[in-house]
Structure 1
Amino acid sequence: MTEARSTTGQSPLLLLIATGMRTYREYLLRSISTGFRVHLFHVDEPTWEKEFVSGWTVLPSTLDGPAMARAARELHAREPVAGVLCWDEGRIHAASHVAEALGLRNGDPSVIWRLRDKGQTRAALDTAGVTQPRSVPVKTLDEALAAADLVGYPAILKPRGLGASLGVVKAGDAGQLRERFPFTAGMKGPDPEPLLYSTDQPVLVEELVTGEEISVDSVVQDGKAVPLFIARKVVGFPPYAEEIGHYVDAGDPLLSDPRLLEAIQDTHTALGFRDGWTHSEFMLTATGPHLIEVNGRLGGDMIPYLGMLATGIDPGLVAARVACGMAPGVMPSLRQVSGIRFFYVEHDDTLIESVSFLETDLPSAVERLVPVARPGAVVSPPPKGTVWGRIAFAIATGRSIEECRAALDAAESALAVRTGEDDTHRREE
């Protein structure tokens, strides 16, 4: 089913593939709608999205790239599409088939597959000499044990085709690797990914590199990569790698660090990524930045929103402009710091009755307080819960990371959770 609304003006038509959770992605669509007409490909009739789109097509799947390409050609024949955009990790490869069919930017499925498949990423970067951890793809536990002997302990286990740190765990020795390998090998994403799991070697055993971990959201046009936002990660729940918070500083000195800028550009050149938005992760080691992974989409965890709060650069509009081959417009208009913290329950299989914040006397630096878990939900902390175990998050802005951290501490103290097992309680430090 296709629905189109009459529109006025000649703003470009952008084809958006899926939207994701409203809580995490509405801000992007809201911004894009101010400068573009948006046609949405989705598996259901839009609900909250209708306010921001000019039309939509309901399809059986948004994971089937060739089928979506046929629907896109029909749309394009009625009205030319200027660009294709997708920020959902599980659908960016399918979206590249659509862009390819329409002759638009970011339309090379082999390039996007090279980013989706972390094994291919590692191989391409090895060939180009980009600094990264040693990595060995494996299938079986015995192969993993042999690979760990090669890269050394502690070793990192990770699925080669998932995002959001799903399935990533550290093994300090052979005993821990034996215990934790099934966790990584059995991890599944939110969508079926049969092509990724058709590989004979679905798990990567990697060298542990230490330092501060960051993520970099970059805009890439005609092969030139420009970093816009750098997020300093806060990681918790060891030995797992759950991202429990981020800080973005508009004045981060890493934005002009020659070694990091060179690593970012060399990475994109080696992978052949020429147009679009990427979210890369690096470990800042004593010997320089080591590339951890590259995702061919906007960052998750509200990181682009943090970037907008910190710099004034609108990520939705920038991503849409680049998808359409337009000048991105990336001059900062603000210079401040923003941060986010995610909250979890303490025990597996916790029944949620309510999640709220007691907002009395919170500092003005608290920008947003967002309950995520709904009444009746059963949630768990990592490793069982991973990102789906989050029950709420808070966002703060300020002049420094310390000011943001203090505001997030206050927000955490104001978090009130009622569960099926106990009475209302407040989170305390």
Structure 2
Amino acid sequence: MKTEHLLVITPGIRAYREYLLQSISRDFRVHLVLTEPPTWELAYTAGHTVVADLADVDGLVRVARAAAAERALDGVICWDETWIEQTAQVAAALGLPGGDRRCVERCRDKHRTRAALDAGRVPQPRSVLVSGREEALAVAGGIGYPVVLKPRALAGSFGVIRADSPTGLVEAVEFTGASGDSAPELPTHERNILVEEFAQGPEISVDCVVHRGTVTPVCLARKEVGFEPYFEETGHVVDPDDPLWADETLTDVVVRTHSALDFTDGVTHTEIRLTPNGPKVIEVNARIGGGMIPLLNLMGGGPDLALAAADVACGRPPRLQAATGHRQVAAIRFYYPPKDDTVIADVRFEKSGVPEQVVRCGPLAAAGEVKSPPPRGLMDGRVAYAIALAADADTCRAALDEAGRALRVDVA
């Protein structure tokens, strides 16, 4: 019997987030808030409310109170970066867990994140907030090239770019500054660009569940990045036996990061560079990870992050049991169109060319859509994905390479 009643604010894109709703709907009574009439979501919800504007906090609170009038709400959750602050405000208005808006803002605002981590002496790249080209040039000269530019309020690698010289930096400032135009619903600031030291080394992410101040790392993913000088995430590898699980320095940095941010309840997605001088924190998101990383963790036999996130949203200890049986490495690869402004007619994989290790693959673009590779298209430029399961990461990567050769993108 489903005893907890959970308000979910926006389902997200089906291909990337359906598995989250599917998991929590087995144990929770879900009331969904969304901006369009539901279709596929109906299979996982007990009720729903369509709203005109997710930025209208007062309207969201009214929706939450109406849902609670039918059956008391135990929690509210959101896995879309754009609306996590509003979700915290709704939780606060109803006296539910996760209602600390200031904590969410410290994660949402990259400059505030840097300030909090600096105060907590957490290792991270040097970072300076600037307002434009001349200030950025001066700061970059002091840090030393290459540097990384990123917008203060965006996510998903949008607007993030490496500059290797003053000439490249001028172009990077224009790219980063213009990125906010694509997300007018997000906060804007007069000083809106971070110029940061470039942290050399591979990048990982650690998804954690936090309950009453206890930080539990649950999923560790190795990130694959492409399309330099941009930082587009082209794939992830989740290995349950990754030697980094035994790295006490890394674990200490993750725990101290949450302490510095005063993050006591919820789920986080922390991105870290493994530099020659040790791990350095790149950013912290106050939500469950994207890129289907939690799905990889689940498919490989790890704990269900969706259920754990729902648990802490309702104020109860998270369930973190791993699946019984042999665990495997799980990996995902994202594929992109060959050129800008590709008008999609069809996306498919030739079954005969997909190896047995690829257990799931499919399109991320529909007929008539226009897709571009980075920099014009980033996450929104992807046309397909494939997921592989195997005994080791190299076998997964080889299988995903083979799946890429079996991908067919027909152009209209």
What TM bracket, shorter-length normalisation?
A: over 0.9
The question of whether the paired residues in 2 share the 8 Å contact of 1:373 and 1:390 is answered with yes
Whether 1:288 and 2:278 are equivalent positions in the alignment is: yes
The question of whether the paired residues in 2 share the 8 Å contact of 1:152 and 1:207 is answered with yes
Give, in angstroms, the shift of residue 362 of structure 1: 3.0
CA distance in structure 2 between the aligned counterparts of 1:104 and 1:218, rounded to whole angstroms: 20
Q: 1:69 matched to which residue of 2?
A: 61
Q: What aligned pairs does 1:72-91 form with structure 2 within 5 A after superposition?
A: 72-91=64-83
Q: 1:46 matched to which residue of 2?
A: 38
Q: 2:341 matched to which residue of 1?
A: 349
Q: Which amino acid aligns with 2:300?
A: A
Give, in angstroms, the shift of residue 417 of structure 1: 1.2
Structure 2 residue matching 1:332: 3-state secondary structure = coil
2:361 paired residue among 366, 369, 372? 369
CA distance in structure 2 between the aligned counterparts of 1:134 and 1:191, rounded to whole angstroms: 26
Q: 2:370 matched to which residue of 1?
A: 378
**Deviations for 1:346-386, whole angstroms, at most 9, x for unmatched residues?**
21111111110001153221111111111111111000011
Moved more, 310-319 or 36-45: 310-319
The question of whether the paired residues in 2 share the 8 Å contact of 1:66 and 1:97 is answered with no
CA distance in structure 2 between the aligned counterparts of 1:274 and 1:186, rounded to whole angstroms: 34
Q: Which amino acid aligns with 1:193?
A: E
Give, in angstroms, the shift of residue 41 of structure 1: 1.2
The question of whether the paired residues in 1 share the 8 Å contact of 2:84 and 2:287 is answered with yes
Q: 2:233 matched to which residue of 1?
A: 243
Structure 2 residue matching 1:188: 3-state secondary structure = helix
CA distance in structure 2 between the aligned counterparts of 1:108 and 1:46, rounded to whole angstroms: 29
Structure 2 residue matching 1:92: 3-state secondary structure = helix
Q: 1:180 matched to which residue of 2?
A: 172
Q: 1:116 matched to which residue of 2?
A: 108
Q: Which amino acid aligns with 1:341?
A: R
CA distance in structure 1 between the aligned counterparts of 2:45 and 2:126, rounded to whole angstroms: 45
Give, in angstroms, the shift of residue 18 of structure 1: 0.3
1:299 paired residue among 289, 294, 319? 289
Give, in angstroms, the shift of residue 190 of structure 1: 5.7
Q: What aligned pairs does 1:2-151 form with structure 2 within 5 A after superposition?
A: 9-151=1-143
Q: Which amino acid aligns with 2:20?
A: L
The question of whether the paired residues in 1 share the 8 Å contact of 2:2 and 2:27 is answered with no
CA distance in structure 2 between the aligned counterparts of 1:253 and 1:227, rounded to whole angstroms: 14
**Normalising by structure 1, what TM-score?**
0.93
Distance 1:130 1:42, change over 3 A: same
Q: 1:324 matched to which residue of 2?
A: 314
**Deviations for 1:218-277, whole angstroms, at most 9, x for unmatched residues?**
111111111111110111000111110110001112223111111111111111111111
Q: 1:159 matched to which residue of 2?
A: 151
Give, in angstroms, the shift of residue 120 of structure 1: 0.4
Give, in angstroms, the shift of residue 312 of structure 1: 3.3
Q: Which amino acid aligns with 2:359?
A: E
**Deviations for 1:162-181, whole angstroms, at most 9, x for unmatched residues?**
11110111111111101221
Distance 1:361 1:349, change over 3 A: closer
Give, in angstroms, the shift of residue 74 of structure 1: 3.1
Query: Considering only aligned residues, what root-mean-square deviation do their CA atoms show, in Å?
Result: 1.3
Runs of 4+ with >6 A deviation: none
**Deviations for 1:52-72, whole angstroms, at most 9, x for unmatched residues?**
100111222112233312331
CA distance in structure 2 between the aligned counterparts of 1:311 and 1:273, rounded to whole angstroms: 27
CA distance in structure 1 between the aligned counterparts of 2:293 and 2:404, rounded to whole angstroms: 19
The question of whether the paired residues in 2 share the 8 Å contact of 1:99 and 1:106 is answered with yes
Q: 1:265 matched to which residue of 2?
A: 255
Q: Which amino acid aligns with 1:109?
A: R
Quick one: percent identity of the two aligned structures? 48
Give, in angstroms, the shift of residue 299 of structure 1: 0.8
Distance 1:40 1:189, change over 3 A: farther
Q: Which amino acid aligns with 1:112?
A: V
Q: 2:331 matched to which residue of 1?
A: 339
1:415 paired residue among 395, 407, 412? 407
The question of whether the paired residues in 1 share the 8 Å contact of 2:353 and 2:405 is answered with no
Q: Which amino acid aligns with 1:37?
A: R
Structure 2 residue matching 1:394: 3-state secondary structure = strand
Distance 1:173 1:189, change over 3 A: same
Q: Which amino acid aligns with 2:249?
A: R
CA distance in structure 2 between the aligned counterparts of 1:264 and 1:143, rounded to whole angstroms: 32
Return 5+ residue gaps in structure 1 as ranges: 1-8, 421-429
1:214 paired residue among 194, 199, 204? 204
